[in-house]
């Protein structure tokens, strides 16, 4: 049961959705598949005055070739998306990250847009209200202390989208419609770098499309998790390899994916790329696995992945 | 004042009209209003699969779907699987293979398997393991569950008959 009271609204167009959002002065949320939002509402982490369901905005679920890009509607279902030829043939990194996302039953419900805009997670945050109240509210709840790192003045929750790192290696762009017009920018610019408030967005903006450059790029995705059948990533590593360059992106170890360009798409350049990521990453004790282990697994998964991708390319 | 929503659903072939608050989940509607208590609430967060039903033919975790968003939808729960006293082949094989111990996960297991076999009637062992492993069972282990689903899947392969 979701115990808080809210209005349920199901608009038929983006314009109507934006208008209805405006009526609630920032206290509304958008709903797509609900696999992230509904559990958050059940735990009392989110108590909006209105839930605006986007599923009747039909234009947002198609996948199509559009000139130099493949356009993926944000409401495209994860399960269908991974079986779409345009994705599986051209973007193996994305196909692999979609396959690794949660489990089939949730892929059937979840959408790519919802996956990218899922909230950050922490062992001390994604808990019931009773649990959190007993412990004392943390920074992400508007409290004054971090419950994961004693004395810390900033939040360390992890952004656990499997597909964001893969899309970063593919240099994907995201398009938003908002109360002040539309805009389109690189996925990497979506993030604030702050775990308590991870997305650099204006209130009410709706992710409408994801644009991936239309060229076939070899690649893959490796994921660390405890329960292979479902689970959010505790570390995710994506790699895509063009003809003369490569990109590595590491996710679930901070508030955003960490993306690095490799000068040459070869194994030798990988060590340097991994070191660049590791220098930026600070894992803490806020998941079910030890922080040092998660960090040490970055080069392990990266090497395993690049080997697989290079062998596949030969 | 609590706002309420009128929702028409087809549940196990029968039309039902519900009047719900926005925060009511499909699992609550099934269990508490329609007295269909086969689907169980385990984790309540979509992680364990014991509440799985078919929503418009697709296996769905009913504890994280709001009934208010389902106007016009079709739901099939474990109660709608048998045809009178004729059990579904999945139910038969679960009994035959002893794929049930405490029973708490069973309806979710069977509905997840149903969703898989609807989509892929010839699912092989690998497909079955991949799909079923996302549902939690704490008693039997998965061997017998996988065997039961495999037995139904192989029934659709003429060469095995």
**What's the pLDDT tens digit per position in B115-132?**
999 999 999 999 999 999
Q: CA A135 to CA A144: how far, in whole Å?
A: 12
Percent of chain A with pLDDT strictly greater than 90? 89
B75 and B13 share one domain = yes
ipTM exceeds 0.85, yes or no: yes
Percent of chain B with pLDDT strictly greater than 90? 91
Percent of chain A with pLDDT strictly greater than 70? 99
Better pLDDT: B155 or A130: A130
* Mean pLDDT value across residues A80-109: 95
Q: In terms of residue numbers, what domain contains B15?
A: 4-80
B69 and B99 share one domain = no
Q: How many CB pairs under 8 A join A and B?
A: 88
B17 and B68 share one domain = yes
**For B46, which of A3, A35, A104 is closest by C-beta distance?**
A35
Better pLDDT: B73 or B156: B73
Q: What pLDDT does B159 receive?
A: 53
In a domain, B161, yes or no: no
Q: What pLDDT does A131 receive?
A: 95
Q: Does B16 touch chain A (CB under 8 A)?
A: no
Q: CA B91 to CA B73: how far, in whole Å?
A: 25
**For A106, which of B5, B28, B61 is closest by C-beta distance?**
B61
Record: contact B58-A4, CB cut-off 8 A: no
- Give B56 to chain A, closest Cα distance, Å: 11
CATH number of the domain encompassing residue B56: 3.10.20.30
Q: What pLDDT does B161 receive?
A: 41
Q: Which helix (H) or strand (E) holds A303?
A: helix A291-313
Give the orientation angle of helix B89-96 with respect to helix B143-155, to 10 degrees: 140
**For A34, which of B22, B28, B64 is closest by C-beta distance?**
B64
B10 and B76 share one domain = yes
Q: What does the radius of gyration of chain B's CA atoms come to, in whole angstroms?
A: 16
In a domain, B151, yes or no: yes
Q: Say if residue A25's pLDDT is above 90.
A: no
* Mean pLDDT value across residues B14-27: 97
* Mean pLDDT value across residues A18-30: 95
In A67-167 the beta strands, taken as DSSP E runs, fall at 69-73
> Residue A258: beta bridge partners?
A250
Average pLDDT, chain A: 94
Domain count, chain B: 2
Final residue before a domain boundary, out of B30, B54, B80: B80
Q: Model confidence over A30-79: pLDDT tens digits?
A: 999 999 999 999 999 999 999 999 999 978 899 999 999 999 999 999 99
Give the global pTM: 0.95
Record: contact B23-A38, CB cut-off 8 A: no
How would CATH label the architecture of A58-117+157-313?
Answer: 2-Layer Sandwich (3.30)
Q: What pLDDT does A58 receive?
A: 75
CATH number of the domain encompassing residue B129: 1.10.150.120
pLDDT class of A270 with cuts at 50, 70, 90: confident
**For B59, which of A10, A34, A108 is closest by C-beta distance?**
A108
User: CA nearest B108 in A: which residue?
Assistant: A105
Q: CA B99 to CA B147: how far, in whole Å?
A: 8
Over the range A251-286, which residues count as b (16 or more CB within 10 Å of their CB) and which as e?
bbbbbbbbbbebeebeeebbeebbebbbeebebbeb
Residues of A in contact with B49 (CB under 8 A): 105
pLDDT class of B156 with cuts at 50, 70, 90: low
Find, among A75, A265, A69, the residue nearest to A172 by Cα: A69
Question: Which residues touch B107 (CB under 8 Å, ≥6 apart)?
Answer: B38, B39, B40, B50, B52, B77, B78
In chain B the beta strands, taken as DSSP E runs, fall at 4-11, 14-21, 52-55, 58-61, 74-76
B28: left (phi over 0), alpha (psi -120 to 50) or beta: alpha
In a domain, B116, yes or no: yes
Q: What pLDDT does B74 receive?
A: 98
Which class is A1-56 in CATH? alpha beta
B74 and B115 share one domain = no
Tell me the CA end-to-end span of chain B in Å, nearest whole number.
Answer: 61
Q: Model confidence over A141-181: pLDDT tens digits?
A: 999 999 999 999 999 999 999 999 999 999 999 999 999 99
Q: CA A11 to CA A13: how far, in whole Å?
A: 6
Over the range A216-231, which residues count as b (16 or more CB within 10 Å of their CB) and which as e?
ebbbbbbbbbeeebbb
Q: Say if residue A276's pLDDT is above 90.
A: yes
Residue A313, phi then psi, degrees to nearest 5? -80, -20
Where are the domains positioned within chain A?
A: 1-56, 58-117+157-313
In a domain, B142, yes or no: yes
User: CA nearest A35 in B: which residue?
Assistant: B64
Question: Which residues touch B131 (CB under 8 Å, ≥6 apart)?
Answer: A103, A104, A105, B112, B113, B115, B116, B123
B67 and B132 share one domain = no
Instruction: Identify the DSSP state of A191.
Output: B
- Count Cβ atoms within 10 A of the Cβ of residue A84 and give its class: 0-12 exposed, 13-18 middle, 19 or more buried: middle
Final residue before a domain boundary, out of B49, B80, B111: B80
Q: Say if residue A125's pLDDT is above 90.
A: yes
pLDDT class of A264 with cuts at 50, 70, 90: confident
In a domain, B111, yes or no: yes
Q: What pLDDT does B141 receive?
A: 83
Q: What pLDDT does A13 receive?
A: 95
Residues of B in contact with A31 (CB under 8 A): 69
Q: Does B45 touch chain A (CB under 8 A)?
A: yes
Q: What pLDDT does B160 receive?
A: 44
Q: What pLDDT does A48 receive?
A: 97
Final residue before a domain boundary, out of B24, B57, B80: B80
* Mean pLDDT value across residues B5-29: 98
């Amino acid at each position: 049961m979701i115990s808080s009271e809210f209005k349920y609204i199901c608009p038929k167009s983006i314009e109507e959705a934006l208008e209805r959002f405006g009526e609630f002065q920032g206290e509304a949320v958008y709903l797509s598949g609900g696999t992230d939002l509904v559990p958050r509402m059940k735990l009392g982490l989110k108590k909006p005055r209105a839930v605006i369901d986007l599923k009747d905005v039909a234009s947002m679920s198609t996948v199509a070739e559009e000139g130099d890009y493949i356009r993926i509607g944000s409401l495209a279902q994860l399960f269908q998306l991974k079986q779409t030829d345009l994705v599986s043939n051209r973007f193996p990194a994305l196909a692999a990250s979609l396959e690794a996302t949660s489990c089939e039953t949730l892929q059937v419900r979840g959408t790519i847009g919802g996956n990218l805009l899922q909230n950050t997670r922490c062992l001390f945050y994604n808990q019931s209200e009773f649990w959190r109240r007993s412990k004392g509210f943390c920074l992400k709840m508007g409290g004054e202390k971090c419950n994961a790192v004693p004395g810390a003045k900033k939040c360390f929750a992890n952004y656990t989208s499997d597909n964001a790192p893969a899309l970063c290696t593919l240099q994907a762009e995201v398009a938003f419609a908002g109360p002040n017009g539309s805009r389109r920018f690189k996925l990497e610019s979506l993030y604030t770098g702050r775990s308590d408030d991870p997305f650099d967005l204006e209130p009410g903006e709706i992710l409408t499309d994801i644009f991936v450059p239309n060229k076939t790029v070899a690649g893959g995705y490796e994921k660390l998790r405890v329960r292979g059948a479902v689970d959010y990533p505790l570390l995710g590593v994506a790699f895509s390899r063009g003809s003369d360059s490569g990109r590595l992106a590491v996710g679930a170890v901070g508030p955003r994916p960490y993306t690095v360009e490799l000068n040459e798409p070869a194994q030798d350049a990988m060590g340097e790329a991994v070191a660049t990521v590791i220098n930026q990453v600070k894992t803490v004790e806020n998941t079910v696995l030890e922080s040092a282990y998660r960090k040490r697994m970055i080069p392990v998964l990266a090497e395993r992945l690049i080997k697989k991708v290079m062998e596949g390319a030969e | 004042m609590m706002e309420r929503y009128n929702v028409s659903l087809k549940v196990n072939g029968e039309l039902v009209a519900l009047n719900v608050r926005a925060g009511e989940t499909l699992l609550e509607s099934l269990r508490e209003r329609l007295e269909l208590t086969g689907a169980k609430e385990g984790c309540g967060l979509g992680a364990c699969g014991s509440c799985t039903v078919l929503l418009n033919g697709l296996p769905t975790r009913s504890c994280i779907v709001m009934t208010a968003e389902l106007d016009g939808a079709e739901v099939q729960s474990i109660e709608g699987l048998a045809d009178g006293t004729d059990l579904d082949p999945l139910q038969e094989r679960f009994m035959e293979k002893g794929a049930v111990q405490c029973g708490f996960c069973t309806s979710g297991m069977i509905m997840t398997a149903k969703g898989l076999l609807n989509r892929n009637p010839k699912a092989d062992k690998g497909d079955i393991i991949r799909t079923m492993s996302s549902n939690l069972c704490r008693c039997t282990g998965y061997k017998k569950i996988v065997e039961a689903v495999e037995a139904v899947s192989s029934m659709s392969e003429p060469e095995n008959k």
